[in-house]
Amino acid sequence: MSNLIYYSQEDSRWRNIMYSITNDKSQTIGTSACGPTSAAMAISSLTGQAVLPTTAVTYALVNGYRTVNSGTSWAYYASIAKKYGLSCTQTGSLADVKNALAAGKLVIASMGKGNFTGGGHFILLVGIITTNGVTWIDVFDPNHDNTKYGNDGQIEQGIKNDGKVSAKDSVFTKQAKQYWIFDKLIQGEPEMKKVDADGIITYLKLAYGVAKTAEEKKEIGKLADAAREASGQAKQNG
């Protein structure tokens, strides 16, 4: 997609700002906020709104998504995406990620030890191309001067230390732990798929059948209607 926004977590404007819930001054945006910085890039690119890493970090801290020593919680991405009117789908499927990138969506990847990190690191995937039978995925790395890329031919750096690289899809097959697909919400798109709502409603009908009081049945009816509304269906209980 066009109009992509890049941020480095090591930008001098914010790299030394603390990102910690234990007042650990060694935990800063520069050392620990690859996740929020990746989210800030995705949100800014998709919405056209300038959401800085400082804003994304504050959201994580205020809403309990900063862990003690393991960076940013995986639950953070769906939450902050919703705040800015975006959809976020978590997946472990590289095939889903490739389809999403081909459709112009953006994807945050949690990487394990390998070409991007010695421990754990979040990066933003922004594009995909196949050349001579090899599929390359374009990456915005919030650690712009990452020294882990190596010389094994798996990463193409382009301009050194600009944070924008390309990686062979095999890197993700071996090293990625999880992905979050970010996209613009279609206007009027229901919050829940009908098939998921129907599954919830089926369960609630069973609960309704064994409910002992009118109050319990009333509450179950409210829950069923909430599922119907979330999936674009009409309420049935008033």
Check residue 179 and give its pLDDT.
98
Contact 138, 126 (CB under 8 A): yes
Considering the four listed CATH numbers 3.90.70.10, 3.40.50.261, 3.30.70.100, 3.90.480.20, the one that applies to the domain covering 29-184 is 3.90.70.10
Q: Is the pLDDT of residue 1 over 70?
A: no
Q: What does the pLDDT average to over 78-85? A: 95
Give the burial class of 192: count Cβ atoms within 10 A of its Cβ; 0-12 exposed, 13-18 middle, 19 or more buried: middle
Nearest to 123 by CA among 73, 68, 180: 180
| Residue 203 phi, psi dihedral angles, 5° rounding | -65, -40
Q: What does the pLDDT average to over 225-229? A: 82
Residue pLDDT, tens place only, 95-116: 999 999 999 999 999 999 999 9
Containing 128, the helix (H) or strand (E) segment is strand 121-131
Percentage of the chain with pLDDT > 70? 96
Q: Which residues contact 147 (CB under 8 A, 6 or more apart)?
A: none
The structural domains of the chain, with segments of one domain joined by +, span 29-184, 194-230
Residue bearing tokens 């890329």:
149
Check residue 225 and give its pLDDT.
84
Output the average pLDDT for the chain: 92
